[in-house]
Structure 1
């Protein structure tokens, strides 16, 4: 498979929750209004688009390929805090932001189809079978078809010492 998120874009845009105004505001304050920002691995612009009005320029790059995936912090097994602490960008500031989300059955299934391991391209001709099975299991576990989530977003700003 050459495209990690093949077929996920419409589900990603519709069902992935944004980071929220507080988290974006934290980034905007950290960068400052005259800054130029590079958002690598930006996906559909979840950070870049809301941040664009608060800084001078945002360049959004979605450069996901096997090389970048193999060299990501997650692939290395190291936590990003540890990698940054051992880098020139070792002054770390962490801020946490909480929000409550309510998901209906279609949103939970749509969210699942936005993940790289269950994209429509990865599932191929099994998409309908997969979504039907997920629907049955979820409704058996929770007949109301509504789920509440407490989502925590961490904004980690790393500055050069």
Structure 2
């Protein structure tokens, strides 16, 4: 039979390797910038971007295929670059305008780019303001979803 020291050596080596691996992971994560830990909005169902997209999903050919690609917010400082008159009106009234760059399947099954916009207030994306915005878009300037150009050129 083997020595008692030989019997315990295997598990001790395994434990030491495990502790070293844990320390490497902990210290390597501390050196990364905080932005590397941010999760893209498309993976957070309750994000303002996804809320805005959900308010416009009925306008897409394949609503289940639509996902957030990127987004930006327009405010009063962006009035000079906003060409959409309805968006300009909301911004002039003191609301922000969340513009979401969406990818969704068209009638042929290919993914295409589209932009949707939602007015925002102090509580974030406003369902009521977005509904009014969509009605105004439909009556005045076409659909609430734009496949050609964003609100800013």
Q: Same fold (TM over 0.5)?
A: no
* Structure with more relative contact order (C-alpha pairs < 8 Å, separation 6 or more): 1
TM-score by length of 1: 0.23
More helix by share: 2
Question: TM-score if structure 2 supplies the norm length?
Answer: 0.24
